Amino acid sequence: MSRSATEDRGGSGDGLRSHRNPSNHMQRSRMATGDDQPHIGQYRILKTIGKGNFAKVKLARHVLTGREVAIKIIDKKQLNTSSLQKLFREVRIMKHLDHPNIVKLYEVIENSKQLLLVMEYANGGEVFDYLVAHGRMKEKEARAKFRQIVSSVQYLHSKNIVHRDLKAENLLLDADMNIKIADFGFSNEFTPGHKLDTFCGSPPYAAPELFQGKKYDGPEVDVWSLGVILYTLVSGSLPFDGQNLKELRERVLRGKYRIPFYMSTDCEHLLRKFLVLNPTKRGTLTSVMQDKWMNIGHEDEPLKPYVDAPFQENDEGRLQSMIDMGYNKEEV
């Protein structure tokens, strides 16, 4: 399995490949640790873990708590007005998200030249890399991961947010192998009854209506991508691929894909709720949560929509304690 750094064409081969755009996504760099360990605010910089044309990502540790974080440092002067607006939209969306399987945005630091996003660090790497290293998942393992993915995406949709770039490269793993959805660069708010029209994301995960240039409501394109992800977890390969974008488009619009012999009937039945050419006939995530395959082994705890944790009275005391330690209220 190899990577092909592209957003706008599918490469060749049977295994998984990356569909990254170097201008939009972080590219890996050599991990270099500075001897002087510079600081950004209350964070000690440990090493560089990612680098792109307009941004780099540093691994850092909070001086007071010892918590490791990822700091994305963006050079604002390299971005045009449209890119800046997209960046600020991403920040605005992430600031309002609080789900155990979504990467948390802890803090935003801005100056005249840079925007720094202090985010949760998922040290288990990408699901993509996990599949490359270990091969396809057994259905029990895939189910555990997919339940977390569906829960987080349903949470986004309940807040009228569509991700629009769901793929194995944007699914991270923490130290306990829990899913953390990342990269909200293509995310947007949606309003029922009002259509979106931007083609964005990675073509192998893109819904057919995007290839056709049709406007869309929002959630249904994420639902299609979830079907591609489920197939990828269970099979270790993509359901739709091609030597080029034209070939990939033709395969997606046909909606034909091979069902591996080892895929269970229940899993296949669920998959067919996602990969439906007609977007109005795709399954809703609330109905998917009740699907048989999703809840095998979890009959006593079927998947339910995630509800934001209520504010606890004693949280006020914890908040004051953190302020006394040197944080400001916005940092906590």
Question: Largest Cα–Cα distance in the chain?
Answer: 61
pTM, entire model: 0.82
CA dihedral 317, 322, 327, 329 (to 10 degrees): -20
CATH number of 125-294: 3.40.50.620, 1.10.510.10, 1.20.200.10, 3.40.605.10? 1.10.510.10
* Tokens at 281, concatenated: 């006939």
- Tell me how far apart the alpha carbons of residues 70 and 45 are, in angstroms, rounded to a whole number: 9
Domain layout of the chain by residue ranges: 41-120, 125-294
Q: Is 99 exposed, middle or buried (0-12, 13-18, 19+ CB in 10 A)?
A: buried
Residue 312 is predicted with a pLDDT of: 54
| Catalytic option among 165, 183, 241, 291 | 165
Residue 12 is predicted with a pLDDT of: 36
Fold entry, domain 41-120? Phosphorylase Kinase; domain 1 (3.30.200)
Instruction: Give every residue of the chain whose pLDDT is below 70, as ranges.
Output: 1-36, 310-332
222 belongs to the catalytic site: no
User: How, if at all, do strands 68-75 and 55-62 pair?
Assistant: antiparallel
Q: Which of 256, 279, 260, 276 is nearest to 268 (CA)?
A: 260
- Tell me how far apart the alpha carbons of residues 9 and 97 are, in angstroms, rounded to a whole number: 31
Backbone φ and ψ of 39, nearest 5°: -120, 150
The DSSP element (H or E) to which 130 belongs, if any, is: helix 127-134
pLDDT digits (tens, 9 = 90+) for 136-172: 999 999 999 999 999 999 999 999 999 999 999 999 9
Quote helix, strand, coil % in the chain, to nearest 5. 35, 15, 50
pLDDT digits (tens, 9 = 90+) for 199-242: 888 999 999 999 999 999 999 999 999 999 999 999 999 999 98
51 is in an annotated binding site: no
Residue 300 is predicted with a pLDDT of: 86
Residue 320 is predicted with a pLDDT of: 55
Residue 53 is predicted with a pLDDT of: 78
